[in-house]
Structure 1
Amino acid sequence: MKRSIAVLGTGRMGSALARALLASDHRMTVWNRTKDKAEPLALLGATVASSALEAVTSAEVIIVNVSDYKATAGILRDDAVASAVRGKLIVDLTSGTPQGARDAAEWCGRHGAGYLDGAIMATPDFIGTDAGTILVSGQGQAFRDNEAVFRALGGNVQHVGQDPGRANALDSALLALMWGALFGALNAIAVSQAEDIDLGELSRQWTATAPVVEGLVTDLIKRTDAGRFASDEETLSSISIHHSAFQHLLELMDARGIDRAVVDGYGFFFQRAIAAGQLHGDFAALSQFMGKAA
C-alpha cells in the first residue's frame, strides 16, 4: 500500500519533494504558510491543506522541509498538532545541527511519533532522479518500513545510522569539503585575474588536474582513518613540500595585493604542525591540528 504523505513547506525544495512523491502515485497533502506557494501542486493531484493540523491529520508520514528546526518546532509543537502526530512518522528534511536533530527526535518520542532526520545533498532538480542523494538517520526500522517513499525521492537515499544527528553531521562535513573547494576557486580566480590569466584557461587546467586533487583528498581521508601520519613509501606529498609551495602563493598574493584572509587560515595550521615537529610528515598529519581548537 502506498503511504499517505503530508509535505509541510512547499518552497523550491519542498515542492520538488512533493512532485517526486506525486509522480510515484503517493496520496499527497501539502501545506505552506503562504498558501499560494502550494497551489501549483494541486494541479498535479495534491490536496492543499488549509492548516498544518489538517495536513498532519491526513497523513501517515509527515515530511517537513522548512527553514530550520525552530520553524519546524513552531509548526509541530502547537498543542493540537502535537496531539495529532501520535502514531505517525516525522521525516525532517530541514537543515540543522546534529543536536537539533537529536532534540527533535526526543520530542517526537515523547509525543508517540517516529522520527527520521535527513540531509538533502542535492539541488531541487535532482530530487526524484537516480542521482538524487539524501542522507537519512534515526530509527532504522522506520526507514526500512518506508523505503518506497524514500526511493521516490532519489536513487541514492541512504540510511546512515541510528543516531538522529548522524545525517546532519555528515552534511556539515561534506559542506566543509564543498566550501573548501569553492573558496579555493575564488582564490584561484583572484590570482588568475591578477596575473592576467583567462578564466577559461583556469577552467581547462582545473579539469585536467581535478583527478589529482580528488586522489589527494581520498588518500588524506584514508591515511587519517588509519592514523598513518608519518611520511612513508606511499606518501603522495609531505607537509614540507606543500608549505614550500604555499610560501610562493603568499609572495604572489602580497605582490599583487590580493586579500589573504582565507589562505592565512591555512598558514596557521601549517605553523601549528611545524611547531609540533611535523614538517616532514605526511600532509595527513595536519588532521591532528584541525580537529581541535588552538
Structure 2
Amino acid sequence: MSEVSILGLGLMGMAIAKAYQKGGVPITVWNRTIKKAEALEPKNVVVAQTISEAIAASPVSIICVEDPNSVLTLFGHSQVEPILDGRTIIQLSTSLPKQVREDQEWLAERNADFLYGAIHCGPQDLGTKDGNILISGPSTIYNPVEGLLGHQGGKIEYLDDDIAAVSVLDLAWLSTRFGEFMGMLHASNICEAEGVELQKFISMFPDSARIQHHVGTIRDGTYDQRTATLSIWQASLELLKQQAIDAGMDAGFPSHVGGLFEKAVKAGYGDEHVMALFKVLRGDGRAAD
C-alpha cells in the first residue's frame, strides 16, 4: 500500500508526485493519459489503471486536475463511491467556495474526510523551501496529514476549519493577479503606441521581479516560456465570474477581462504565456508576430 495517491499528472500534479518521490514516499499515480506517468522515476511509484485502483491504494488521495468539479467528476460513480469510506481526499484543483462546501458535504455522506488547498508557487518550487500551499478544513483531518503535506515545501500554511477559506482567498489572490496583468499589458501598449522602448518602462521597477518578467516577456516575445498557460488563466476568470454571480456581486470585472482572454484563445494563443494577450490588445490592428 502506498502512502498517497496523486490523481492528475499535469504540470502541478507531476511536480507533486516528484516531490514525494524525492522524499522517499511510496506513491500511486493516476492520469487520464497513463503515458504521462513514464516521466516519473520507477522507484516507489505504482501506476493505477483506474481511479478506483488509485483510491484503494492509499489512505490519502490528492486531486490536481483542471476541472473545478473534479470531486464529482472523478468520484461520482458507483464503482468508486464505496471505496471512499475512511479515505482522506485533498483537493488542490481550483474550485469555487460553493463547490468546495458541496464537495465536503458529498464526501462526508460517504464517510470520507476532505481538505481543500491552493498551490501558491510554481511547479518547480514544490518539494523545495519555496513550496507554498494553503490548506483549510477541520484540524482533526489536517493534523494527521501535516507531515505528509510537508514534503511539498517549506511553507504549508493551515488556515482554519472553514473548508472554503482557502478557496475564497485563492480567488481574491487571483483577482489581484488579473488586475496586475491588465495594468502591465495596458502599460506596454502605451509604450509601444508612443514609441518608447519597453526596457525603459521595466527599468522604472528595479525591485519588481514580476514586472521585469511579464513585461520582459512582451519585450522579448518569449510567449512559449510559461508554467500556466493563457487558457488556464482564462479558466480561473470563469471561476471569478461565477463566484460573483453566486454571491450576488457585480461581475463586470471578470466578465470584461474574460472576454479579452477568450478573444486571445480564439486567436490561437491559449497555450502561450498569459502575456500573449498583448497580441490582441494592440490598437493598430497589426497581425500577431
TM-score, structure 2 normalization: 0.69
Aligned twin of 2:74: 75
Measure how far apart 1:53 and its partner are: 0.6
- Number of equivalenced pairs: 214
Deviation beyond 6 Å, 4+ runs, structure 1: none
Alignment partners' CA distance in 2, 1:292 and 1:172: 14
Alignment partners' CA distance in 1, 2:80 and 2:194: 60
Aligned twin of 1:21: 20
Measure how far apart 1:80 and its partner are: 2.2
Alignment partners' CA distance in 2, 1:113 and 1:71: 15
Alignment partners' CA distance in 2, 1:3 and 1:148: 15
Secondary structure in 2 matching 1:69? coil
Measure how far apart 1:23 and its partner are: 1.3
The 1:188/1:44 distance shift into structure 2, 3 A limit, reads: farther
Measure how far apart 1:57 and its partner are: 0.4
Q: How far does the alpha carbon of each residue in 1:234-253 deviate from its partner, in whole angstroms, 9 at most, with x for none?
A: xxxxxxxxxxxxxxxxxxxx
Alignment partners' CA distance in 2, 1:126 and 1:43: 22
Q: Is the CA contact 2:90–2:117 (under 8 Å) kept in the aligned structure 1?
A: yes
| 1:145-160 paired onto structure 2 within 5 Å | 145-160=144-159
Aligned twin of 1:48: 47
Alignment partners' CA distance in 2, 1:75 and 1:136: 21
The 1:292/1:35 distance shift into structure 2, 3 A limit, reads: closer
Q: How far does the alpha carbon of each residue in 1:54-85 deviate from its partner, in whole angstroms, 9 at most, with x for none?
A: 11001010001111232331211112211111
Secondary structure in 2 matching 1:117? strand
Alignment partners' CA distance in 2, 1:177 and 1:63: 27
Q: How far does the alpha carbon of each residue in 1:182-206 deviate from its partner, in whole angstroms, 9 at most, with x for none?
A: 1100111111112221111111102
Alignment partners' CA distance in 2, 1:201 and 1:143: 48
Alignment partners' CA distance in 2, 1:80 and 1:41: 28
Aligned twin of 1:113: 112
Alignment partners' CA distance in 1, 2:58 and 2:2: 8
Aligned twin of 1:169: 168
The 1:53/1:42 distance shift into structure 2, 3 A limit, reads: farther
Q: How many percent of aligned residue pairs carry the same amino acid?
A: 30
Alignment partners' CA distance in 2, 1:147 and 1:136: 10
TM-score, structure 1 normalization: 0.68
Q: Which runs of 5+ in 2 are unaligned?
A: 210-247, 253-289
The 1:84/1:42 distance shift into structure 2, 3 A limit, reads: farther
Secondary structure in 1 matching 2:95? coil
Aligned twin of 1:274: none
Alignment partners' CA distance in 2, 1:65 and 1:128: 16
Aligned twin of 1:264: none
